Amino acid sequence: MLIPFSMKNCFQLLCNLKVPAAGFKDTVKSGLILQSVSNDVYQNLAVEDWIHDHMNLEAKPVLFFWRNSPSVVIGRHQNPWQECNLNLMREEGVKLARRRSGGGTVYHDMGNINLTFFTTKKKYNRMENLKLVVKALKAVQPQLDVRATERFDLLLDGQFKISGTASKIGQTAAYHHCTLLCSTDGTFLSSLLKSPYQGVRSTATASTPALVKNLMENDPTLTCEVVINAIATEYATSHQIDNHIHLINPTDETLFPGINSIAKELQTWEWIYGKTPKFSVNTSFNVLYEHSHLEIKVFIDIKNGKIEICNIEAPDHWLPLEVRDKLNSGFIGSKFCPIETTMLTSILHRTCPEDDELHSKWNMLCEKIKGIM
């Protein structure tokens, strides 16, 4: 159901945004510039969904600015095990999110601006949006060498990517969102967006690696605040609307009815991991046994984030066949994640409580398998 910009909606926004009534009425007639006060990736992604699904965007385009605390965002059709270092993310407390749009994986922190351009499906135009960003940047720094590419990226100095892009096109509404690197932690970005996992086979959409650079590396005055204001000014001029950025709280149910349930869904394991296209892991590792190395082979098929087939091959003299079968069958149906693997280690402890050597081998295998999850 579309919720038009009625006077009731205007009043709700006025109460929550505390902006002058006359100015906001004029804005509502032709478009809006919004900025989130939240740095939570799930809350901000929920705003995108809400606006796309509920707002009538006919003749009322919306530009939405948002920034997140450290997080990795994958495209709707991507495989996180292929795209990022999940173990490092867990250690560092970096959130993983799956967005509704396609495209590649990006790293967000407070030095990265996210922009979402909302329009009707008919008026959707990614290149027009990117040219607007370029124009805004050049207005601040005329000497800046920045341009949009045919792949809908923004390049700095002809080779460094400062913006990735993705979109979602619905039946009547559409949005195009892109990142803009101002002062992002480049070391963290490169280490998190590098998968350490071996033997992953998948048909999921893969990201295209690129050299990246921050705008502030070229010009220290190009802070996030300066860039946001420049883009907002250019957007307001282009769309002939009031140049006022309205601050919004993504958790405000009076402004966005039902939005917290959207944010909650975006945080679920079923959405983040379970939506991964079917894939397999075919790998091996060595274990030390009586001063020699034994090869352990592992083949796993994963569908909807859960293990469908598990085949662990090990020499019979090291791990009896019946124990391997028990381990393989124990993995079937479980989530492909370290937590459930940890739970499996207790199975043998219950079935063979006094076999310490077997426990040690079982635990070691589970720890090795956790390393590929």
Q: Burial code of 23-34, b = ≥16 C-beta within 10 A, e = fewer?
A: ebeebbeebbbb
Q: What class, spelled out in words, does domain 32-273 have in CATH?
A: alpha beta
Q: How far apart are CA 244 and CA 232, in angstroms?
A: 8
pLDDT at 347: 64
Q: How far apart are CA 158 and CA 97, in angstroms?
A: 30
Kindly list the domain boundaries of the chain, sorted by start residue.
32-273, 279-372
Identify the three-state secondary structure at position 286. strand
Beta strands 200-202 and 173-181: pairing type?
unpaired
pLDDT at 15: 37
Q: Per-10-residue mean pLDDT for the chain, 373 residues long?
A: 40 38 42 97 98 92 98 97 96 97 96 98 96 98 96 95 95 96 96 93 92 96 98 96 94 96 98 97 85 88 96 88 86 88 68 69 79 82
Reference 194, options 71, 94, 93, 82; nearest CA is: 82
Q: Do the beta carbons of residue 114 and residue 47 sit within 8 Å?
A: no
pLDDT at 10: 40
Beta strands 292-303 and 306-313: pairing type?
antiparallel
Q: Do the beta carbons of residue 172 and residue 182 sit within 8 Å?
A: no
The whole-model pTM stands at 0.88
pLDDT at 137: 98
Architecture per CATH, 279-372: 2-Layer Sandwich (3.30)
> Token pair 């009625």 is at which residue?
6
Cα-based angle 5, 40, 232 (whole degrees, multiple of 5): 50
